[in-house]
Structure 1
Amino acid sequence: MFYCGVALLSCVELCCIMLCCVALCCVMFCSCVAHCCTLKTTFLSHPQGFINLGTSENKLCFDLLHSRLTQPDMLHIDPPLLQYPDWKGHGFLRRAVADFLSHYCGSRCPLDPDNVIVMNGCGSLFSAIAAVICDPEEAILIPTPFYGVITEDVGLYSGVKLFHVPLDCEVASGDGTRPFHLTVEKLEDGLQRAKEQGVMVRGVILVNPHNPLADIYTPQEMAGFLEFAKRSLHAIVDEVYMLTIFQEKVSFQSVLGMDRYLPDPQRTHVLWGFSKDFAMAGIRVGTLYTENTDLMEALSQLANLHGVPGSTQHQMAQLLQDRDWISEVFLPENQRRLKTSHGYVAAELSRLGVPYLHRPACFYLWADLRKYLGEASFSAELSLWRVFLRHKVVLSCGQAFSCSTPGWFRIVFADEKHPLELGAEKSEGTTRRQRLEPHQRGH
C-alpha cells in the first residue's frame, strides 16, 4: 500500500491552519519560541525575556559536543560524500548504527546493517512508515498522552489518522497501577472501539521511554504490548530516549535486546535518533531498524525526499564508533547534569505543592496543575497556559499531547541553572496569582 499526496503550503498558510487546532497551536508556539530562546546569553542579558520550558531539548552538553565534533576526524570530505548516496544512508553510517544499537541495546546477535535506514529525523520516518503500511484514512493506535507532532507526521503523505487509547491519571487504591498506566487491556479496548467505528487499524505506536510521561516500560510490559500487536498489526517502537536515563539502578531494555522473544519480528520496527540521547535536536538524523524487507524497500523509495548530507553522515558515524567517548565521557556526564537539573526543578515543584510524576528518564516532568484551573476543562487549561505565557514562561499543556484530563503540563528541565532559576521565579509568581483567581471567578 502506498499513497503520496503532499500539498505544499506557505508558512503563513500553515500557521493559519495551525491556529484552528488548539493543541497543535501550543506545540508550534513552543517550537517557535525555542528558536528565540536557546542561547544562554539571551537569558543572561535579557532576564525579562521568555523562558522556554516547553521544548524538549537538552541544552546541558554543548561543551562536550563542541569538543568532540571539532576533532580532526570529523573534518573529512571525499568524493563519495559529495555524490548521490544510497538513499537508505551511506553504508558506513548504517554499519555504525547497527554496531552501536547492538552494543547499547544488548542484542544477543549483531544487528544487520542492511536492516537499517537513515532519514532526516524520526518525524520523517513516522511519515514514511505510515504512508507505506496504511491506505488513506486508515489508522494507527496510540496511547494518550503522546508527543503531539506525531499526528502531523503520520498524516503528512496519505491522511493516516491516529486512533487514541486514553490513559487515566487517577489510580484506584490498591490495584498496583500508576497514573497513565498503559495495559494490554486498554489496547484491546482501543482496537475494539476502532472496529465498532469502522476504522481500519494497521499498527500501534509505542514510545519507550515515554514522551511526555517519562515512563519506562518493563520488558514484561513491552512483551505484552508486542504480543497484542501480533494480530497483523505493525508495532512501531520509538526509543529515542533509550540512553537518557539519569538515575542509578534504573535500567532500560530495548526491544532490540528482546530478539529471542519478539512475537513478530517482521512487524516490529524500532526508531532511534541523535536528537535526544546525544542532545542534537538540530542535527536531523533518525534511524529505523526493521527486518521487514518489503517495508525497507518501500521506505527506500521515499528516502530520497528525506536525505541526510554526506558530511553529516560521516560525523555521526565517527561519533557512534567512538565507544570510549560515549561510555566514559558523554553518557556519565550527561546523566549527572540531567540528574542535577531534574532535582532542582522537582524540588521547586514540591516547594510549590505541585504534584508531578517522579520518573528517572528524559528531559521533562509531567506536572499536575489542575488546582490552578478555574474549572476542569481544556479551555481553562489553555487559559492557564496563556497566563504562564503572559509571564514569559513557555510550557507545553496537556492538550498538545491529547491528554484526556485537563490540567497536566510538561515542564522541560534539561537546561542550565540560570534559566531554570528564572523560570522558577516567574512560575512562582504566576501560580501565586492563580491561587486566588479561580475563586474570584466563582463569585
Structure 2
Amino acid sequence: MSEQRGYKVAFDPSNIVLTAGATSANEALMFCLADHGDAFLIPTPYYPGFDRDLKWRTGAEIVPVHCTSANGFRVTRAALDDAYRRAQKRRLRVKGVLITNPSNPLGTTAPRADLEMIVEFVAARGIHLVSDEIYSGTAFGEPGFVSVLEVMAERGAAAADVSDRVHVVYSLSKDLGLPGFRVGAIYSSNAAVVSAATKMSSFGLISSQTQYLLAAMLGDKDFTRSYVAENKRRIKERHDQLVDGLREIGISCLESNAGLFCWVDMSHLMRSRSFAGEMELWKKVVFEVGLNISPGSSCHCREPGWFRVCFANMSAKTLDVAMQRLRSFVESTTNGAAALRRAAVPARSISCPIAIKWALRLTPSSGDRKAER
C-alpha cells in the first residue's frame, strides 16, 4: 500500500484489517458505520456493484451525488450539498461519503483539490469518508494518483478533527491481477472500526495458503515493482489503442489516466436522447455487434448515451476486431456515418466526459472467428 502511494503515506500495521477482497471490506465498513436505513452519498457515475455490495445485507441506502459532463464528472461541493439535502428530505441519516479513486467507470484519478474539498465536507458535516482505492496502482498518466491519506497527512494538526472518520479500502485484485485470491484490506485510524471490522473478518478470512503465497510474492520488491510498472505500460497501450480506434469512427471518450475502463459517449448513435434510447443502442451493440459494454444508466449517470468499456481484458488483435465490428455498425447508422465523415477531419480532443456492469467481451460471429485466432 505504501509503495503504490509513493511512500508519501506511513501505514500503521495495527490499523489494517485484512478481508476477503474489497467487496468484503466495503460491506464491513457499511456494517460498522451505518445502521439499517442510514445513507451514504456516492458520486455518479459509480460502480454498479455498489448497489449490491453496500445495500443488500446491511440495509444501508445510497444517495447519488449527481455529477455531469460539463466539468468532466468531477465532484463539486454544490453536488454534495444537494445530495445531503435530498437525503434529509427522505428522512435519511447520512453517515458518510464513499468515493472510488481512481474511478470505476470514469478511469480518472481524483484531483488533489477535489479530495481536499471532500474532506472539508465530511469534516463540516461530522460524517465519515470511505475511499475505495482498489485501482491505485493502475494510474498510467498525469495527473498521478493521490491518496486521501496523503491529503490527510498534509493537513497535519488540522486533520485531527476528522482523522478517525476517514477510511481506505484496498485490494490486490487489480494492481496485481489477483481477483480470485480474494485479498483486501481496510485501513482506519478509528480503533472502534478496526475492532469491529476485525471481528467481522472472521466471516471472510483470507486462507492461510493464500497468505503464505502472497508473503513470498510481496516480499520480492523487485518483482512487484517490475510487475506494476509493466502492468501500467500495457494498460496505457491498450487504452490508447481503444481511444484512437474510437476516434477514427467518430466516437469520443472522457479523457482518462487510470483504471481499466473508458467512459465513452455514444449519444449521437441513439435514435432518441433518452434512457430508452440508450438501452435500445446497448442491446444492438450487445446482440448485433457482439460487444458487451455497460450502459451509463446502470452506473446511475443522469445523461443518456454514456457507456463503460473495459479494454484491459483482451489482446491487441481482439481489440482490433472489436473496432472493426463497431465501425461496421456505425457506418450502418445515419448519425454514425455523419460522425465518421467528421472524424476524417482533425478534431480537438474532448476532456468532458461510458449497465450490465461486466467488462467488454466479444461474442464471435462466424465470420470473425478466423480473424480472432
Q: TM-score, normalised by structure 2?
A: 0.84
Q: What is the aligned-residue identity percentage?
A: 28
d(CA) in 2 for partners of 1:157, 1:225: 27
Q: Does 1:419 align with 2:318?
A: yes
Is 2:117 the counterpart of 1:224? yes
The question of 1:399 aligning with 2:297 is answered yes
Please say if 1:158 is aligned against 2:158: no
- What is the CA deviation profile of residues 390-431 of structure 1, one whole-angstrom value per residue up to 9, with x for unaligned ones? 121110110111111111001111121122112112222222
Aligned pair 1:409/2:307, yes or no? yes
2:75 to 178, 182, 189: 182
Q: Distance in 1 between matches of 2:74 and 2:38?
A: 26
Instruction: Return the offset for 1:144.
Output: 0.8
The 1:434/1:199 distance shift into structure 2, 3 A limit, reads farther
Q: What secondary structure does 2:179 align onto?
A: coil
1:356 equivalent in alignment to 2:214: no
Q: Which amino acid aligns with 1:386?
A: K
Query: Retained in 1: the 8 A contact 2:109–2:143?
Result: no
What CA distance in whole angstroms lies between the structure 1 residues aligned with 2:9 and 2:117? 22
Deviations 1:208-267 (A, max 9, x none): 1111112211222211101111122110001111111122x5422212223242451100
RMSD: 1.9
| Aligned partner letter, 1:284 | R
Post-superposition offset of 1:123: 0.9
- Structure-2 separation of matches of 1:347 and 1:192: 41
3-state SS of 1:426 partner: helix
Q: CA deviation at 1:364?
A: 1.3
SS in structure 1 at match of 2:80? helix
Amino acid at match of 1:435: T
Aligned-residue offset at 1:316:
2.1
Contact 2:9/2:149 (<8 A) preserved = no
The correspondence for 1:235, drawn from 129, 148, 165, is 129
Q: Distance in 1 between matches of 2:237 and 2:3?
A: 27
In 2, Cα distance between equivalents of 1:333 and 1:355:
27
**C-alpha deviation, 1:200, in angstroms:** 1.0
Match of 1:435 among 334, 337, 346: 334
Letter in 1 for 2:173: S
Secondary structure of the corresponding residue to residue 282 of structure 1: helix
Aligned twin of 2:367: none
Higher relative contact order (CA 8 A, sep 6+): 1
Where 1:180 maps in the other structure, the secondary structure is: coil
* C-alpha distance in 2 between matches for 1:325 and 1:354: 38
| Whole-Å separation in 2 of the counterparts to 1:103 and 1:393 | 36
Alignment-derived partner of residue 48 in structure 1: none
Equivalent pair of 1:372/1:434 in contact (CA under 8 Å): yes
**Matched-pair contact (CA < 8 Å) for 2:138–2:259:** yes
**Contact 2:331–2:337 (CA<8 Å) still a contact in 1?**
no
Q: CA deviation at 1:108?
A: 5.3
- 1:301-338 per-residue CA deviation (whole Å, 9 max, x = no partner) reads 221111111111122232222221122x2122112211
| Structure 2 gap segments, 5+ residues each | 339-373
The CA distance in 1 between the partners of 2:206 and 2:333, in whole Å, is 46
1:369 matched to which residue of 2?
Answer: 266
SS of the equivalent of 1:339 reads: helix
Q: Secondary structure at the match of 2:98?
A: strand
With structure 1 as the length reference, what TM-score do the two structures score? 0.71
* 1:281-296 correspondence runs (5 A): 281-296=179-194
2:280 to 380, 383, 406: 383
Q: How far apart, in 1, do the equivalents of 2:336 and 2:139 lie?
A: 38
Q: What does residue range 35-50 of structure 1 map to in structure 2 within 5 Å?
A: none
Distance 2:26 2:83 in 1: 21
- Structure 2 equivalent of residue 265 of structure 1: 163
Asked if the contact 1:140–1:202 (Cα under 8 Å) also holds between the matched residues in 2, the reply is: yes
- Please tell me the residue identity of whatever aligns with 1:217: A
User: Residues 432 and 109 from structure 1, CA distance in 2 versus in 1: closer, same or farther, beyond 3 angstroms?
Assistant: closer
| Secondary structure class of the residue paired with 2:46 | coil
> How many equivalent pairs are there?
330
Whether the 8 Å CA contact 1:387–1:430 is kept in 2: the answer is no
Q: Match for 2:170: what amino acid?
A: W
2:111 maps to amino acid: T
